[in-house]
Amino acid sequence: MRDAAEKAESRRAVLAELNRLGIYYEMTEHEAAYTVEDMDRVGFDKKILICKNLFVRDQRKKPRHWLVVLPKDKRADLGALADQLDAKHLSFASEDRLMRYLGLGQGEVTPLGVFNDESRSVTVVFDRDLIDREWLGVHPNDNTATLALSFGNILKFLSEQGNPVKYVTLRD
């Protein structure tokens, strides 16, 4: 797990990149939120759809990694997700892998974490229900704050980072 100084520096770097790209966001600071339930307790405006973020991997000899972003109330069936990603068997990646690939600890996963993926080896996967949403809530690489920004602006950020993006349809 990262200490407060590491989280603060990571947040500053992501905010600086968003500002450099001219991406509009609104930030809410709050107690550390590790789960969707923690986020619900923060009490965000109803206009903001909070995202759930899962870091998963394929169990092959040469593993592949995906950061899956979905609405907070959806469940991710890993079997159905594996079929859509042409993966043999998906499992949640370890905290060590999360730190190695995205520089994040558990409870901090966010699509903005690809900012730390220098090898551009993590594919970001969006549930199609997020497309064109005006206000999505994601952490700025620090789970003591949440950014509200548009789906289009998240894509702009990801495009600048160079990570591949895919779309899936997850059932409720």
pTM surpassing 0.85?
Answer: yes
Per-residue confidence (pLDDT) for residue 163, from 0 to 100: 96
Per-residue pLDDT reduced to its tens digit, 74-126? 988 999 999 999 998 899 999 999 999 999 998 899 999 999 999 999 999 99
Residue 161 has pLDDT above 70, yes or no: yes
Q: What would the two tokens of residue 149 be? A: 């920004």
Q: How many residues are listed for the chain in this entry?
A: 172
Distance CA(106)–CA(96), nearest Å, equals: 10
The pLDDT of residue 63 = 79
pLDDT at 159 over 80: yes
| CA-derived radius of gyration, the chain | 15
Digit-coded pLDDT (tens) for 34-63: 888 888 888 888 899 999 999 999 977 677
Q: Which residue has the tokens 């090898």?
A: 119
What CA–CA distance (Å, rounded) separates 160 from 50? Answer: 23
* Cα 14 to Cα 102: distance, rounded to the nearest angstrom: 13
- Do 71 and 51 meet the contact criterion of CB atoms below 8 Å apart? yes
